[in-house]
Amino acid sequence: MTEIPTQGLDPTFLNLKNHLASMLGADEVSDLPTNDAARIGIYVNQAYRECYAPIDGYRPGWATDNIGINLPEPAALELDLTNGSVGVQSNVAIPSKYAGSLIEIGDDFYMLASTDDSVEITLVTPWSGTTANNVGATMYHNSHELDREVIDVEASPELIGYGPMSPINSPEAATRLRGNFSTDFIPSKLYGNVPSMTFNKTSIETDKTPLFYYIDNSRIATPINSSNLQSEDFMAVRPRFNVFPLPSAAISIRVKANVLPHELTNAADLARLPGNAVWDLLYPIACAKLALADPRYNGGNTEAILRNAEEARKRLSSLARPQKQRTIRLRKRLGW
């Protein structure tokens, strides 16, 4: 079968908007007022995202990305530290993608909150020691930021050279694994719900293979000025892939993640859908969103538009799984 990727009407962002604009009585989207034209683009991208994350919750296989993660070996640092401050000067530049990683300074571990790929870094908690320069430290690359389009990670990530990794439920669970219990205060119904964690440096293993992982998308760098609030990069919600225990050597991980598509922005941008069926899937759904939400639309065929969109959603569901044949699980009969 010969592939013809340019057959038919090109499903570009501009063509999609032009055809939607006809529902508002315009020949092209450029004929509409600025706000009306902007809403047309919003409806297209809403429909595009729904194709990747259907409202029935069943995500198609083509809405996943295969991602490779490389975590370097621990790095020796020299830091200029100020008592009570989260701002730190490093002797080497630290890439921002390792935000969330732990830095060992003396007998404590501090989490890297942010860096702009330079020697200026920010910690989550202020330095509690005395002000000093050229303080020796070790950075463990146990965290790696994923793209903001990543929604969640499929099971199971693979640690290259070892095998599948096992999940930890949360950062708090990892913290409990690093702690130890203290004599008479072990959590029990007999003693009540008494805190009993002792967290110390010796409980953080740095010489084991990190076969465990957890995903964290909590914010660790809070905005401190209006420029932060106006920065799309700073305000982006990016999940972080964390490993446990702390890696003592460079490791590589293969991850399959559910994603939302990059937003269509430029006129020639193309939507990525199976079979290049953009006009059969995305376009009817976008029409329905316009018919339901746009204050300028006054057509009398809303019911037919909604029915066409529902057919597109059913067709989308039928394209969700490329492999129809599945393994049959065999079991021995009782008595064998």
Q: How far apart are CA 71 and CA 250, in angstroms?
A: 6
Q: Is 309 left (phi over 0), alpha (psi -120 to 50) or beta?
A: alpha
pLDDT band at 190 (very low <50, low <70, confident <90, very high): low
Q: Are 220 and 124 in contact (CB under 8 A)?
A: yes
- Residue 163 is encoded by which pair of tokens? 């095998």
Q: How far apart are CA 29 and CA 66, in angstroms?
A: 36
**pLDDT exceeds 50 at position 183:** no
pLDDT tens per residue, range 79-116: 999 999 999 999 999 999 999 999 999 888 999 999 98
Residue (of 48, 65, 55, 49) closest to 317 by Cα position: 55
Report the DSSP beta bridge partners of residue 174: none
pLDDT band at 57 (very low <50, low <70, confident <90, very high): confident
Domains of the chain: 13-53+261-318 (no CATH), 65-69+145-259 (no CATH), 74-140 (2.40.10)
Query: Can you list the positions of beta strands (E) in the chain?
Result: 64-71, 75-81, 87-90, 102-105, 108-115, 120-123, 132-140, 143-145, 150-153, 158-159, 163-164, 166-167, 180-181, 197-198, 212-216, 240-244, 251-259
pLDDT band at 4 (very low <50, low <70, confident <90, very high): low
Q: How far apart are CA 135 and CA 110, in angstroms?
A: 14
Q: How far apart are CA 195 and CA 192, in angstroms?
A: 9
Mean pLDDT comparison of 149-158, 172-181, 227-236, 251-260, highest-scoring range: 251-260
pLDDT tens per residue, range 145-165: 999 999 989 888 999 999 999
Calculate the alpha carbon distances from 279 to 227, 282, 315 in Å.
40, 6, 12
Peptide bond into 5 cis (omega under 30): no
Terminal alpha carbon distance of the chain = 49
Give the β-pairing of 197-198 and 180-181. antiparallel
Of the ranges 12-16, 215-219, 234-238, 277-281, which one carries the lowest mean pLDDT score?
234-238
Q: How far apart are CA 42 and CA 147, in angstroms?
A: 22
Say how many CA atoms lie within 13 Å of 8 toward its Cβ: 12
pLDDT tens per residue, range 18-55: 999 999 999 999 999 999 999 999 999 999 999 999 88
Q: Are 241 and 141 in contact (CB under 8 A)?
A: no
Residue 293 host element (H or E): helix 278-293
In Å, how far from its chain's centre is CA 240? 7
Residues 6 or more apart in contact with residue 330 via CB below 8 angstroms: none
How many other C-beta atoms are found inside a 10 Å radius of the C-beta of residue 87? 13
Q: In whole numbers, what is the pLDDT of the chain averaged over residues? A: 86
Mean pLDDT within 167-196 = 64
Q: What percent of the chain has pLDDT over 90?
A: 59
Q: Are 198 and 181 in contact (CB under 8 A)?
A: yes
What is the predicted pLDDT for the residue at 316? 87
Q: How far apart are CA 310 and CA 27, in angstroms?
A: 26
Give the β-pairing of 212-216 and 166-167. parallel
Helix (H/G/I), strand (E/B), else coil: 81: strand
